[in-house]
Structure 1
Amino acid sequence: MTEHKTGGDLTLGGQRVHERLTREEPELIARVLTRIQEQVADYRRLPVEELAGDIARITQQAVRAFARSLREDRQLNDAELRQIGASAVRRAEEGFPLEAVLTAYHVGAREIFAVGSAEAGRADVADLLEVADRVLAFVGTITGAVTRGYLEELRTKVGQEHTARRTLLSVLADGGPVDGVARSAGITLPARYLVLSVELGPHADEASPGVDAGIAVRRKLRRFLAAFEQSCGEGVLASLDGPGGLVLLPLAGRLAEVAEWRALLDTAGRAAGVDVLAAAEPAEPSEVRLVAARTGEVLEVLRWFGRPPGLYRLDDVLVEYQLTRPGEARDRLAAVLAPLDEHPELSETLAAYLELDTNRRRTAARLHVHPNTVDYRLRRVRELTGIDPLHPAGLPRIIAALAARRASEPRRG
């Protein structure tokens, strides 16, 4: 009768299995990542940064957890299972398929067994069977942890708290009575919110060949909001899609200065890996509807005037805001550029010239024409509109006319 061995004593090819796994950990992790990408199509659509970061990290944690469980002759403990469950939560947040996550762990387990048993001989049959049994038990335990973590996150997304927060945001944005909704959700309203209307630039991964753009967008939004939640707690309310949306940050003693607003927005933009254009204004809960409408309008003004990424208040664009308010004056100002409709090359040249700070050479380089061509086109703009964009006195009016024209165009999206 063969004597039963503890996990720490299981030996294949003359070496304890847990020691082999520890010694060959870097190569094993690289093998697991390679096999996952080869065998699980969804992982090939992940950004390289995520594969080399979060996915590699959880792979390392899983390999080490199995090696420890062998050495200490036990099942995975609660801390190890929490790490695995937390990773599954992140995949659920990104909308990554549960089937793919589970398949990846099975692929990893096969590689663990392959490395651990690589030098097994005929004399190792008993230990080999024991190691195989432990790998299967490991896979079963992990499958439970992953499934629980993933499904719990899904339930959170559609659960009562999530629904209540969405309802609260909707009521705040619509100007309805919020006290009852907040009480039923167990949410204490702050004295004031910082209302942010934001436009998020595209992340590079969204256009990367082979990367799932939907996952890249959700990952961008998750990281963007996580930066706010880390600073402001769970009271952050948001309605965001890929291009942007509305965010309410509870002030409650935080973010007292505009400089702090800007610093937090910069932090969130860096976390998401994108440029952010935002209009901000504080508001009491009863004022959110009016203030959100105004910050939305300010954000449009920022787009129309081509402002660079950053955080702006109404006070930063008072003249621009007033110039673009609906009315007869705006319509007439926009009509100044109507003669350019039949000359798209003139409109393109004028827009580039103004965007590039009236630099003729940079404008020419962008449009791939000679600087003399830029001069000719700008003189034609003067002939057709009566405004000279080459003269300092004409710049304010031509800039205002272009913004008024953009403001008069039908809203996209």
Structure 2
Amino acid sequence: MDPEAPREPGHSVSERLAAAIGSYAAEGGPSYQHVPSELVVQDFFDGIELNARALLRFIDTGKMPTAHELRPVTELAMARLANGAGLQEVIGSYQQVSADLWRRFVSESEPVDRDDVLDLMPKVTEYIFNVVTLIATEAAHRSADPRSEARDRDRAALDALLATGVAAGPFDVGRPCFVVAVFQLSGAPGAGSSVSALKSRVEAIVDVHLRLDLNGWVAVHWSSRSRQDAVADFRATLDRAHDETAVRCWAGIASSSTAAGVPDAYRTARGLAATAHALDRSEFLADLGNLTVEYLSAASGPDLPAVAELVAGVSAADPIFEQTLRIFLEENCNQLATARRMHVHRNSVTYRLGKVHALTGLNPLIFAQAASLHAALIARDLS
């Protein structure tokens, strides 16, 4: 290429930098140890684009952006800290992403441009150092804020309650009922804004504290009302929040009438959420009342393959036998309803269920054996 020839628009620094950002975004972006990726991805890439524009202005003018101009960048970092990420993790993530983007930018530059691009390195380094300094300074300033200290104390109290059942801080109240909801996000890309909206709605519920993790978050609600009323009200509020945001996720829910029982409720809610996610259930909320067999099947762990083996021969013989069995169980063991749904004669359903009996030794027309077949199908789905 003639170095004196005019460059095409696609070769401009800003467009090439935008292309590097786009390719990085397509791979999902950064991850944090304690913050769900769905809460990070959307606003993170907004921050990258703002950073890129600020960096280009600095390269063009030599004038470092002010703290006020970079306020959206530092606010994103503060949001990560408030959600439970550590300062070193936040700064490390920023530096790692900056390095990744710079490597892409250099590698995707034309050979004739490489020397000019590498000459920009001192300014890029200076800019990154400036942003990291602003983040660290703002974090130090906010760490002295009483609200930050109170948030850290509440987070520690929540961790202690979930792990040991010891109530302290906001949970040290008279005769409370505790309701635990564990949210499992679907991991669908591009859902960041909706997930943030759902989190905000749950966080706004009176007497609720949240703790985030990679799969979603844990919400603990405490109430002086009866256990039944507290659970019913909390469920209704969560359902409304979910309907308003339409986030694809699941929430396992369990309760305890004492603080000492919270760790067990947390374990149950976590298992329910994971089971509903694994089975891709259509219902948002899952409790032991509507997911008993599925939850127990999932909890069997190493025994799942053995349970699933009970129905292995059914699908191997003819997939229609397994399909008929599944619909029969979904229709509460009603042969006529099964026949209508499958658009076949009832005698066909009877024949197919007879084949299931012959292949498994378990009769779907006997309740206890139908329950065993149901559990085996769930184990097959979870295996």
What TM-score do you get using the length of structure 2 for normalisation?
A: 0.52
1:247 aligns with 2:219: yes
Which residue is equivalent to 2:95?
Answer: 99
**Aligned counterparts of 1:52 and 1:221: Cα–Cα separation in 2:** 10
Which residue is equivalent to 1:378?
Answer: 353
**Aligned counterparts of 2:123 and 2:235: Cα–Cα separation in 1:** 55
Q: 2:285 aligns with which of 311, 317, 326?
A: 311
The answer to whether the Cα contact below 8 Å between 2:158 and 2:209 also exists between their aligned partners in 1 is: no
> What SS is found at the alignment partner of 1:236?
strand
Letter in 2 for 1:63: R
Q: Give a deviation string over 1:203-228, Cα, whole Å, max 9, x none.
A: 244xxxxxxxxxx99x7998598446
Q: 1:145 aligns with which of 107, 120, 131?
A: 131
The answer to whether the Cα contact below 8 Å between 2:177 and 2:255 also exists between their aligned partners in 1 is: no
Which residue is equivalent to 2:241?
Answer: 264
Q: Give a deviation string over 1:120-146, Cα, whole Å, max 9, x none.
A: xxxxxxxxxxxx99x977863553224
Letter in 2 for 1:260: T
Deviation, 1:34, is 0.8
Q: 1:387 aligns with which of 363, 373, 380?
A: 363
Q: Give a deviation string over 1:219-269, Cα, whole Å, max 9, x none.
A: 799859844664249962436443x67532456999945321212345676
> What SS is found at the alignment partner of 1:79?
coil
Letter in 2 for 1:86: E
**Aligned counterparts of 1:398 and 1:77: Cα–Cα separation in 2:** 72
- Alignment RMSD (CA, Å): 6.2
Which residue is equivalent to 1:34?
Answer: 19
Which residue is equivalent to 2:211?
Answer: 238
Larger C-alpha radius of gyration, 1 or 2? 1
Q: 1:173 aligns with which of 155, 159, 162?
A: 162
Letter in 2 for 1:80: E
Mean CA deviation greater in 62-71 or 233-242: 62-71
Which residue is equivalent to 1:8?
Answer: none
The answer to whether the Cα contact below 8 Å between 1:195 and 1:280 also exists between their aligned partners in 2 is: yes
Residue ranges of structure 2 left out of the alignment (5+ in a row): 1-8, 30-37, 107-118, 298-305, 332-336
Which residue is equivalent to 1:126?
Answer: none
The answer to whether the Cα contact below 8 Å between 1:173 and 1:289 also exists between their aligned partners in 2 is: yes
Deviation, 1:59, is 2.1
Aligned length: 314
Q: Give a deviation string over 1:63-100, Cα, whole Å, max 9, x none.
A: 369769999x9753332222222345578859784334
Percent identity, aligned pairs only, is 15
Residue ranges of structure 1 left out of the alignment (5+ in a row): 1-23, 111-131, 206-215, 327-334, 365-371, 389-393
**Aligned counterparts of 1:252 and 1:66: Cα–Cα separation in 2:** 56
Q: 1:59 aligns with which of 49, 53, 58?
A: 49
The answer to whether the Cα contact below 8 Å between 1:81 and 1:142 also exists between their aligned partners in 2 is: no
Which residue is equivalent to 1:401?
Answer: 372
The answer to whether the Cα contact below 8 Å between 1:175 and 1:289 also exists between their aligned partners in 2 is: yes
Deviation, 1:380, is 0.3
Letter in 1 for 2:95: E
The answer to whether the Cα contact below 8 Å between 1:275 and 1:309 also exists between their aligned partners in 2 is: no
The answer to whether the Cα contact below 8 Å between 2:57 and 2:63 also exists between their aligned partners in 1 is: no
What TM-score do you get using the length of structure 1 for normalisation?
A: 0.50
**Aligned counterparts of 2:309 and 2:218: Cα–Cα separation in 1:** 34
